[in-house]
A and B are shown apart, each in its own frame.
Chain A
């Protein structure tokens, strides 16, 4: 109890300072039109999910929460297989993207005006419906003003009442200083705590609030400059980030990062997404379909990774060994060829802004791939795999 008193005292001091600074300045990039129809589109969702990838180590990393105990159990193979599937499902749940919606405007909705009720009390009354089991958006909050008007509460009051009667875990009643103080926010950005900021943002604000848009836009802009995209890969924020870049036509840095890390499929998907959003008349679907046939989706890949741990003791074929040594299979080389062609087409078009950089990255990757392929074929020949196959 005394701890809360202390903190509240300190916060009261900080509030005075907050009023003078009046929060963060608004960012430059905003969604001009409603992004929601584009974002919720099934194809976009699929592209974003695939781009996010599914690295199980990252999704299920050890968290510093009060209960992070581990459960160990003996299982049959069938049970284990079931457990694997459940694990993948759970991971996909943890990667659920925060919705991208437009900023909600505050509209005044008056229910009734009663001038005879003027001055019935000295303060206004706020009524909250606490009926069990209602979702937050359907919960009614009404205000009876001193002059007798009964109206629906503003978004601000509604959020406050919801937090009061149905608290969300992790949300603070006041604005955290991290979000209200310009300097502290900048410091967090400079220390590259992107995931922490975004995690906290999702908990503290609703997706339709102006602050949510403002802060997330700032984080993404900073990320675009510092180019540490790998931090957000395989987290729930990667999808909205890619969507943000595609919407604002600044995918080149992310694209460069993807090519450098040899995520060519993702690079193609990113370009396709930007074509889709800006309605560029180019047929990307055929390429995507081809690639999808050649390469498995992230969920399938993660499942294969889980299963590979199970069959470690079994004897492996020589072909498998070569593949794991090089890290690529024949189909991978095929897919790379298709995607490189598509990426080069993009670089050649007028949509790319950092052409030289991208071209260089593609060139290096090509050389590397060629070397790998030669090595692959050489090894195969040396081990006589081809003869066995034929």
Chain B
């Protein structure tokens, strides 16, 4: 029964690939990708869990290694393609102009509390961590090297804070390179005044 359902799912996915729906429905596909890599036993357990799925539950902690693997997997590629994780996301708001700030948080009490969670919160396999550089790079401007604003990426305030912390840590660890400010040396300070006179 289940494989059949999955087949239908993937067909549906291909039909609506470019639409926003594709991203929302992708979580089932991702579960599949994750379980394929783990052992068979776990897959059975997952299948049992799938019988009563709660797509909004976020209590399970996903390790960073899984997230890093996920970003390289086919499941990720079918979901997002070559684009950044935030490019397809659109904020919901009433009226012409969006509120200046995004919402405070998407996840309350271990559950998604909104219908349109932010790009990081909607996909539980995107883990913000300083080791997950591939994900962090998507949120850094290629022109100015700064972290992109939440008005552009649509991240909720909590995710944005975690993102900035992770980027700063990754820079500190040297996992993300950036252009270090130029330091001009005054040679006279290091070589003494004798050299100065010679020149």
Contact = CB atoms under 8 A, between A and B. Distances in A.
Interface of A: 2-3, 6-7, 10, 36, 40, 63-68, 93-94, 96, 98-99, 101, 135-137, 168-170, 172, 176-178, 181, 184-185, 187-188, 193, 196-197, 199-200, 202-203, 207-208
A7 B168 contact: yes
B11 interface: no
A3 B190 contact: no
Contacts of A99: 185, 187, 190-191
Nearest to B144: A66
Contacts, number: 96
B97 interface: no
Given A168-B183, A169-B181, A2 B174 contact: no
Contacts of B141: 64
A213 to B, nearest CB: 13
Nearest to B189: A137
Contacts of A168: 183
Contacts of A98: 185
Q: How large is the interface on B (under 10, 10 to 19, 20 to 34, 35 or more residues)?
A: 20 to 34
B180 A40 contact: no
A362 B106 CA distance: 65
- Name the residue among B141, B169, B177 with the largest chain A CB count within 10 angstroms: B177
A3 B161 contact: yes
B174 A193 contact: yes
Contact of B165 (A7, A177, A207): A7
B132 to A, nearest CB: 15
A40 B195 CA distance: 8
A65 B145 CA distance: 6
Given A2-B161, A7-B165, A64-B179, A184 B144 contact: no
B178 A178 contact: no
A36 B187 CA distance: 11
A329 to B, nearest CB: 35
B172 interface: yes
B183 A196 contact: no
Contacts of B172: 172, 176-178
Contacts of A6: 161, 165
27 contacts: A3-B164, A3-B165, A6-B161, A7-B168, A10-B169, A64-B145, A64-B178, A65-B181, A66-B144, A66-B145, A66-B146, A96-B184, A99-B185, A99-B187, A101-B190, A137-B190, A169-B183, A170-B181, A178-B174, A185-B174, A188-B174, A199-B179, A200-B174, A202-B183, A203-B180, A203-B183, A207-B185
A196 B180 contact: yes
B144 A65 contact: yes
Nearest to A172: B172
Nearest to A5: B165
Given A3-B165, A137-B190, A176-B172, 15 more contacts: A3-B168, A7-B169, A10-B165, A10-B169, A64-B141, A64-B179, A65-B179, A65-B181, A66-B145, A101-B190, A187-B174, A196-B177, A199-B180, A202-B180, A203-B183
